[in-house]
Amino acid sequence: MTTRDHSLSTQLAAIYPHKRLQDPKVRLIIDFMAERCQRLIGKMLAEPAAARIQETVG
């Protein structure tokens, strides 16, 4: 049995300075993480629950 509950809502936030004061590397990592999180969440929601459980158990 898995202790993960993918039905729980989660919030993720990034605090960064105004564009004028922002290092381009900071914006790059934020954009990367936002895209990655969106893709992974979409993938999790698209998978049937049984497949997620099998993946964590197996």
Q: Is residue 39 part of a domain?
A: yes
5 is a domain residue: no
Can you give the pTM of this predicted structure?
A: 0.51
In a domain, 29, yes or no: yes
**Nearest by Cα to 46 from 16, 15, 6:** 6
Q: Is residue 43 part of a domain?
A: yes
Task: Tell me which residue range forms the domain holding 43.
Answer: 21-57
Structural domain includes residue 4: no
Eight-class DSSP state of 6: T
pLDDT digits (tens, 9 = 90+) for 1-13: 455 655 667 777 7
Number of domains the chain contains = 1
Whether residue 37 is contained in a domain is answered as yes
**7 within some domain:** no
Q: Where are the beta strands (DSSP E) in the chain?
A: none
52 is a domain residue? yes
Tens digits of residue pLDDT in 13-57: 777 777 788 888 888 988 998 899 899 888 888 877 666 566 666
